[in-house]
């Protein structure tokens, strides 16, 4: 994810002010004098003040900022967790998020498309609006992100084709009811620290693969220049038998890994170019750049792409 300008959102300021107000109204703590010569008994504590230790929130605060007609989602830091152009709320604004749709080069619109990690709901909204044949589902563990997506980023409420599951992605992919049912699975699971995906074990990626249909495709958002990239690529390759390719790093620093399930793939680049032009015409996504990226990252410059 890319860094944004150092600009605190209104919610971030409110969060800080709330904490400051709480400190201002906290009663003066009573000084407890301990008598080391006397044993402490329960009776001595009967009238003692009850001190409640502060609880660490399970999730970082959900915050927002705007610049140049684009609204950004943050988790209490500068790191961008999603974006929406206000005049085009159903389009995908960030380049790396556009690349998360690269599976369109290889398969027809499947019956079921799933996003792990909702963020600003760019992928979810796009698929729901433009890929009418698919049932679109998003999995998000943080209820505040779901609320933000619907109130600040124009995610529609659930309907016959759209479902948001408020649950952990680990539980979702390990639910046998989901195995063998998903044609396209998009993974973007980051927390406020943005140090790499929060789920990245071989076991997780194997469960992801188990969710795919015979010819299913996975796209994963990774950091390019970061130790987590090598680790995730190694684990993805182990889970997908080496059938993984990473597109070149975009200007935001992200790299999208594409992992394939099912039979070996051998498709002429001419066919991919034809399909890319159709994607660009119908969906407005820069699909021919994806093909160029595939050739650059794999060194496959012959007549076909195979994996």
Indicate the CATH number for domain 95-306. Answer: 3.40.50.150
C-alpha torsion sign, points 267, 272, 278, 279: positive
**Phi–psi pair at 214, nearest 5 degrees:** -55, -40
Average pLDDT per block of 10 residues along the chain, 307 residues long: 36 41 42 40 52 66 97 94 98 98 98 98 99 99 97 98 98 98 97 82 98 98 92 98 97 93 96 99 98 97 96
Sign, Cα dihedral of 228, 168, 96, 62: negative
Q: Note the pTM of the prediction, 2 decimals.
A: 0.81
pLDDT of residue 50: 55
């Amino acid at each position: 994810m890319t860094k944004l300008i150092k600009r605190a959102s209104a919610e971030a300021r409110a969060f800080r002010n709330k904490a400051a107000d709480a400190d201002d109204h906290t009663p003066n703590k009573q000084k407890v004098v301990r008598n080391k010569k006397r044993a402490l008994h329960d009776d001595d504590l009967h009238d003692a003040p009850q001190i409640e230790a502060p609880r660490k929130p399970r999730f970082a605060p959900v915050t927002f900022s705007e610049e140049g007609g684009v609204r950004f989602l943050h988790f209490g830091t500068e790191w961008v967790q999603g974006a929406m152009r206000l005049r085009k709320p159903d389009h995908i604004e960030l380049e790396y998020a556009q690349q998360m749709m690269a599976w369109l080069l290889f398969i027809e619109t499947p019956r079921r498309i799933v996003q792990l990690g909702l963020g600003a709901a760019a992928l979810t909204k796009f698929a729901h609006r433009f890929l009418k044949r698919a049932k679109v589902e998003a999995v998000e563990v943080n209820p505040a992100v779901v609320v933000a997506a619907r109130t600040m980023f124009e995610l529609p409420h659930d309907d016959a084709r759209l479902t948001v599951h408020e649950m952990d992605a680990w539980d979702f992919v390990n639910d046998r009811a989901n195995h063998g049912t998903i044609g396209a699975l998009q993974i973007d699971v980051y927390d406020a620290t943005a140090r790499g995906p929060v789920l990245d074990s071989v076991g997780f990626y194997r469960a992801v693969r188990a969710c795919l249909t015979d010819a299913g495709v996975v796209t994963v958002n990774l950091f390019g220049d970061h130790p987590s990239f090598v680790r995730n690529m190694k684990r993805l390759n182990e889970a997908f038998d080496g059938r993984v390719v990473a597109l070149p790093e975009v200007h935001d620093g992200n790299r999208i890994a594409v992992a394939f399930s099912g039979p070996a793939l051998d498709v002429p680049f001419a066919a991919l170019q034809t399909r890319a032009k159709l994607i660009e015409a119908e969906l407005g996504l820069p699909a021919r750049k994806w093909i160029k990226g595939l050739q650059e990252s794999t060194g496959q410059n012959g007549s076909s792409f195979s994996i």
